[in-house]
Amino acid sequence: MTHVSMPADLRHVAERAKGFMPSNEGQALFETAYTYGSLGPICEIGTYCGKSAIYLGAAARQVGSVVFTVDHHRGSEEIQPGWAHHDPTLMDPRFGKMDSLPFFRAAIAKAGLEEEVIAVVGRSETVARYWNTRLAMLFIDGGHSEGPVTSDYEGWAPHVMVGGALVFHDIYPDPADGGQAPLRVFERALASGDFKEVAAEGSLRVLQRVGFSA
């Protein structure tokens, strides 16, 4: 991995945006995007309010890449009403549904990254079905139950180019620390033989498609 500091102004915006990405993991995400972004576009599955997209977009700007971030913006299971991570300020009273899209747009505008970060609004599995562009980096951080993580991996991992990166968030070897679905899919990716682990920071895991050394 390339060790490079994220610009202080963008790091400041990222750290204050709504989201669940610790700053050390955000820096690692930035470094990963910086390392692989020059090979092609970056794709994030699970936008929420744009926190991680700022880390990705900051790197994309420096290496001349772009970030596509895919989300239906109605919230994953764990942030719905009655769940531990629910944020009532994201509820749209007109429809009785979550809507994180306005918060994402405000965060990206505040960061000045509207040219580098492109929102794709829709269900991950639907977008994946019609996606045809090779990816230099794929970051899976959408729904964290078994179905969504599996679907994101199966739908998007085949698009990662040889030498590109597949990145998972919320990998917890100890069940006491968090859900196990992302860990199981991460282990499946390793067992496939298509990827090798090249970096880890907190709950972030970076895999590289076999055949290239970054």
Cα–Cα distance measured from residue 29 to residue 159, given in angstroms and rounded to the nearest whole number: 19
Question: CB 68: neighbour CB atoms within 10 A?
Answer: 20
Q: What are phi and psi of 172, to 5 degrees?
A: -125, 100
Residue 134's φ and ψ, nearest 5 degrees, are -65, 140
In contact, 47 and 119? CB cutoff 8 Å: yes
CA distance 120 to 116: 13
Angle, CA 35 vertex, CA 31 and CA 41 arms, to 5°: 105
CA atoms of 124 and 143, how far apart (whole Å): 10
Residue 144 is a catalytic residue = yes
CA atoms lying within 13 Å on the CB side of residue 101: 13
Marked catalytic residue, from 3, 73, 86, 144: 144
Identify which of 141, 134, 176, 178 has the alpha carbon closest to the alpha carbon of residue 158: 134
Reading the block at residue 185, the tokens are 């899919």
Closest residue by Cα to residue 128 from 70, 167, 41: 70
**Positions marked catalytic:** 144
